């Protein structure tokens, strides 16, 4: 919506190919943009949070975003989606054999039955860790990630270093995350794409027999569902 509004009547594309926002006579808008004079208000605030707020205010004044819609998006990704959802899926798979079978056969359907679906989670594949195999997820092209299950991807997942090294030397990368696997455990790296997002089903700790789904979900971490951690019982 914002891009469409920009392209329609809010700016122009210069000779360099960069988009220039038409600020009109808005003094607040012009105070945010750099110009030739060395005034304190010539640049956006150096603090990222203040910069985001300044741009948000500008876009609201220009009618390019709806504050209510923006608040709803922020609330969704702050409270309604995140690793707590994926943890519930894993815990249920640990205690419900029928659900586990469905999850491994058709993860999209299984997680949708629990109410976890939506943007960035349309096609999910679950891969299960076993005593002989450990699964690890990456997106080598960008940062494809099952948002409805794990929330917004962490910075390290999007980093060039992780995306490049985890394919070449997954055991070394796991070691840097504090995960030391026996030499005979094979590591399988799964490359997420725009079409498929992967969810790792970690191994259940041995000393959790009799635990409820809720208690199990509390010990499942985001990293464990990406494959860069093991699930451990708190001391």
Catalytic residues: 139, 142-144
What burial class does residue 85 get, using C-beta atoms within 10 Å of its C-beta: 0-12 exposed, 13-18 middle, 19+ buried?
A: buried
For CA atoms 112, 116, 122, 125, the dihedral sign is negative
Please name the residue that has the structure tokens 């122009």: 12
Please name which of 116, 125, 90 lies closest in space to residue 224, comparing C-alpha atoms. Answer: 90
Q: Name the CA radius of gyration of the chain, rounded.
A: 23
Q: Mind giving me the DSSP string for 80-121?
A: ISSHHHHHHHHHHHHH-HHHHHHHHH-HHHHHHHTT--STT-
* Cα dihedral 93, 94, 96, 100 in deg (nearest 10): 40
210 CB burial (10 A radius; 0-12, 13-18, 19+): exposed
């Amino acid at each position: 919506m914002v891009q469409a509004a920009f392209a329609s009547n809010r700016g122009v594309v210069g000779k360099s190919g960069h988009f220039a926002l038409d600020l009109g006579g808005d003094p607040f808008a012009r105070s945010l943009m750099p110009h030739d004079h060395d005034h304190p208000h010539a640049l956006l605030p150096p603090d990222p949070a203040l910069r985001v707020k300044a741009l948000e205010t500008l876009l609201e004044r220009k009618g390019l975003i709806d504050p209510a819609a923006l608040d709803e998006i922020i609330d969704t990704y702050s409270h309604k989606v995140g690793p707590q959802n994926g943890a519930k899926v894993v815990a249920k798979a640990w205690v419900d054999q029928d659900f586990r079978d469905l999850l491994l056969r058709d993860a999209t359907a299984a997680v949708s039955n629990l109410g976890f679906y939506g943007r960035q989670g349309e096609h999910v594949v679950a891969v299960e860790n076993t005593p002989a195999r450990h699964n690890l997820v990456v997106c080598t092209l960008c940062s494809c990630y099952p948002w409805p299950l794990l929330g917004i991807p962490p910075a390290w997942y999007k980093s060039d270093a992780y995306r490049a090294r985890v394919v070449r030397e997954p055991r070394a990368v796991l070691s840097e995350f504090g995960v030391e696997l026996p030499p005979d455990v094979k590591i399988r790296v799964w490359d997420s794409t725009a079409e498929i997002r992967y969810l790792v089903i970690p191994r259940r700790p041995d000393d959790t027999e009799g635990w409820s789904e809720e208690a199990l979900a509390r010990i499942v971490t985001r990293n464990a569902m990406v494959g860069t951690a093991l699930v451990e019982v708190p001391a």
